[in-house]
Structure 1
Amino acid sequence: MNLESPQTTVKKSPQEVFDFLSDVKNFEKLMPENISKFEVLSDDTFLFALKGMPEIVLKKKETIPPNQIVLGAAGGKIDFSLVGNITEIESDKSAVQLVFNGDFNPMMAMMIKGPISKFIETLSTNIPSAI
């Protein structure tokens, strides 16, 4: 399953956006209002839970400064990634898009497609005001 957030324009350079997203504690500022738990576990790992959903642990897997950050599932039964793609529009303006990739059976994919789409859209929408 491959889901993409709408592209969001940020009035910051790609490096500033990259630096913000590279610090996992900043993801708390991007979370939706229905977050029930957020905890930084290490410099590159955090845990979060939304009301009514299981806890999810994300770990920074790869970075390509200043254009891409890849977060992936850290343990658990489900393997997925969340990729932040950062594109320069102007020297002080960037476009950010989040891409969720996961390998799920059809039943699971049908159940989580809506909530995951809404989740990555919320993260993306919150980036300009959080930085």
Structure 2
Amino acid sequence: MNLESPKVTVDKSSQEVFDFLSDIKNFEKLMPDNISKFEILDDDKFLFALKGMPEIILKKKEVVPPNKIVLGAAGGKLDFSLVGNITETAEGKSEVKLQFEGDFNPMMAMMVKGPISKFIETLATKMPTSI
């Protein structure tokens, strides 16, 4: 299952956006309002839970400065990744698009598609005002 957030424009350079997303503590600022738990586990891993959903642990898996950050599932039964693609469009301006890639059975995909789509859209739309 592949889902994409809308592209958002951020009034920061790609390096500034990359640096913000590289610090996993900053993901708390991007979380939806219905977050019920956010906890830093170590320098590159955090746990979060949304109301009505199980806890999810994300770990920084790959970094390609200043254009790409990949977070992936760290444990649990589901294998997925969240990719942040950053493109500098002008001096001091960047576009960011999030991609969610997960390998789910059809039943699970049907259940999680809506909540995950909304989740990555919220992360993306909060970026311009949070960075």
TM-score of the superposition, structure 1-length normalised? 0.99
- CA–CA distance in 1 between the matches of 2:129 and 2:42? 25
**Number of positions where the alignment pairs a residue of Structure 1 with one of Structure 2:** 131
Write the letter of the residue equivalent to 2:67.
N
1:55 maps to 55
Write the letter of the residue equivalent to 2:63.
T
Q: What is the RMSD of the two structures over their aligned residues, measured on CA atoms?
A: 0.3
Mapped pair 1:78 → 2:89: no
Write the letter of the residue equivalent to 1:18.
F
| TM alignment of 1:3-82, pairs within 5 A | 3-82=3-82
| TM alignment of 1:87-98, pairs within 5 A | 87-98=87-98
- CA–CA distance in 2 between the matches of 1:74 and 1:112? 18
**Displacement, 1:50?**
0.3
**Displacement, 1:21?**
0.1
- CA–CA distance in 1 between the matches of 2:32 and 2:24? 16
- Structure 1: 5+ residue stretches without partners: none
Q: Secondary structure at the match of 2:26?
A: helix
- CA–CA distance in 1 between the matches of 2:77 and 2:107? 15
Deviations 1:40-73 (A, max 9, x none): 0000000000001000000000000000000000
**Displacement, 1:91?**
1.6
Q: Secondary structure at the match of 1:123?
A: helix
- CA–CA distance in 2 between the matches of 1:6 and 1:51? 24
- CA–CA distance in 1 between the matches of 2:103 and 2:37? 25
- CA–CA distance in 2 between the matches of 1:43 and 1:65? 17
Deviations 1:58-115 (A, max 9, x none): 0000000000000000010000000000001002000000000000000100111000
Mapped pair 1:124 → 2:124: yes
Write the letter of the residue equivalent to 2:50.
L
Q: Structure 1 stretches (4+) deviating beyond 4 angstroms? A: none
**Displacement, 1:118?**
0.3
Write the letter of the residue equivalent to 1:127.
M
Identity %: 79
